[in-house]
Amino acid sequence: MKSFLANKTPYFFIAPAIILLSLFSILPIFVALFISFTDLDLVGIADWSLVSFVGLENYKEVVSDPIFVKSILNTLFYVVIGVPLVIVLSLAIALMINFGKARIFKAFRVVFYMPSITNVVAVAVVWSYLYNPHLGLFNYILNLFHLPDVPWLQDPTIAKISLILLALWRAIGLNMIIFLAALQGIPKTYYEAAQLDGANNWKQLTKITIPLLRYAIFFVSITTMIGWLQFFEEPFVMTNGGPLDSTTSVALFIYRNGFQFSNFGYAAAGSFLLFIAIIIITMIQFKIQNKQQDY
């Protein structure tokens, strides 16, 4: 009896978590794959007999959908500009904070980390106000220096950059902390030895710090890249994809087709393409990382 109970205990402990994860993470993958081959919509949810298989039709349609193509290009724009900016800025801030000896430098950690824990809707509302063409603070400051107004959210290209600025502001904190943790893991003796050999700060940075941060940089670049490929909340709350779909990301495209147009099958096909893209890009990054290790 006792051994029977002892055998059951772990299952009792994991059961709730495993059931919830299976139901809301594992099962949905198969459901998504299944419905991406069907024409499921609002009518279909009410009466499943009206749902029919359409084979690869959804996939064919979605890759020739001009808005989907545009959303891919927009997402690539976000990734190509956003990811390097996040890495460089959060690393630079972490290095500076780590360099400082006074107590005030610890307070900077809090200041720079703050944006990353605040609510995305609240933040988007605040930034919409800052970006407002007539009443916004940004244009007012520009005017103070006799610079012309910037159409922050009205011009297709500038709107994308404005969203990147907001997302950058939110992303720096977390990555800065990761870099700081990694920096503190570097033994002080390395620097002492380098100083004895007469290496200046720049040499120490490029020859010791950066190489030893390789894994942290890799970790941050992978997670940041995956995050930006799923860029959603900022365009959703601030511009709703506009002007003229110039800020629509792939994730927003999927959300819109799923929950605003109720084309569930079509949206599922789009989401699977995004999933595959994320897997391929992550694998390429791992390949590159492995190659670099050979040297």
Partner 1 sequence: MKFSAVSNQSLSKSIKQERRQQWVVGIILALGGILVSLPFVWMILSAFKPESEVMALTPTLFPEKWTIENFKNLFVNMNFGLYLKNTVVVVLWSFVGLFLNAMAGYAFAKFEFKGSKQLFFMVLATMMIPGQVTMIPVYLILNQMHLINTMAGIVLPGLVGAFGIFLFRQFMTTIPDELLEAARLDGAGELRVFWQIVLPMTKPILAVQGIFTFIAGWNSFLWPLIIANDESLYTLSVGLQLLKGQYGGNFALQMAGSTFMVVPIVIIFILFQKYIIDGYTISGMK
Interface with partner 1 in residues 198-227 (CB under 8 A): 201, 215-216, 226
1 belongs to the binding site for partner 1 (CB under 8 A): no
The amino acid present at 168, given as its one-letter code, is L
267 belongs to the binding site for partner 1 (CB under 8 A): yes
Question: Nearer Cβ to partner 1, position 16 or 55?
Answer: 16
Per-residue contact track with partner 1, 127 to 156, x per CB under 8 A?
A: xxxx-x-xx-x--x----------------
> Any idea which residue has 């724009």 for tokens?
77
281 belongs to the binding site for partner 1 (CB under 8 A): no
CB of 197 to partner 1, least distance (A): 15
243 belongs to the binding site for partner 1 (CB under 8 A): no
Distance CA 249, CA 28 (A): 22
119 belongs to the binding site for partner 1 (CB under 8 A): yes
50-56 own/partner pairs: CB under 8 Å, 24+ apart: 54/265
99 belongs to the binding site for partner 1 (CB under 8 A): yes
CB of 261 to partner 1, least distance (A): 12
* Number of residues lying near partner 1 (CB under 8 A): 91
Question: Nearer Cβ to partner 1, position 184 or 206?
Answer: 184
Q: Which stretch binds partner 1 (CB under 8 A): 1-9, 57-65, 75-83, 156-164?
A: 1-9
Question: Nearer Cβ to partner 1, position 99 or 207?
Answer: 99
Instruction: Determine if the peptide bond prior to 187 is cis (ω within 30°).
Output: no
Question: Nearer Cβ to partner 1, position 77 or 253?
Answer: 253
Give the footprint of partner 1 on residues 38-57 (CB under 8 A).
Answer: 40, 45
185 belongs to the binding site for partner 1 (CB under 8 A): yes
CB of 74 to partner 1, least distance (A): 15
Of the candidate residues 28, 84, 133, 243, the single one contacting partner 1 (CB under 8 A): 28
Question: Nearer Cβ to partner 1, position 135 or 196?
Answer: 135
